[in-house]
Amino acid sequence: MEEFGHVDILVNNAGYGEMVPIEDTTDEHFEGTMSLNLFAAFRHFREAVQHF
């Protein structure tokens, strides 16, 4: 931000998943996956939008 002063584009390219049968997926595993795949994208956008 100091050098360019603004954000032109944000690429939210994080994702995680495992090949685990649904019956073997724990709540903790699912919450961790959702935390990265959904909430991380939201948090990054929320911070970046201030600079568009």
Cα 33 to Cα 26: distance, rounded to the nearest angstrom? 11
Percent of the chain with pLDDT over 70: 100
Residue-level pLDDT at 21: 96
Residue 28 has pLDDT above 90, yes or no: yes
The tokens for 38 are 């959904």
Cα 10 to Cα 28: distance, rounded to the nearest angstrom? 29
Cα 40 to Cα 52: distance, rounded to the nearest angstrom? 19
Determine the residue type at 2: E
Residue 4 has pLDDT above 90, yes or no: no
Our measurement of the distance from residue 21's CA atom to the centroid of its chain's CA atoms, rounded to an integer in Å, reads 23
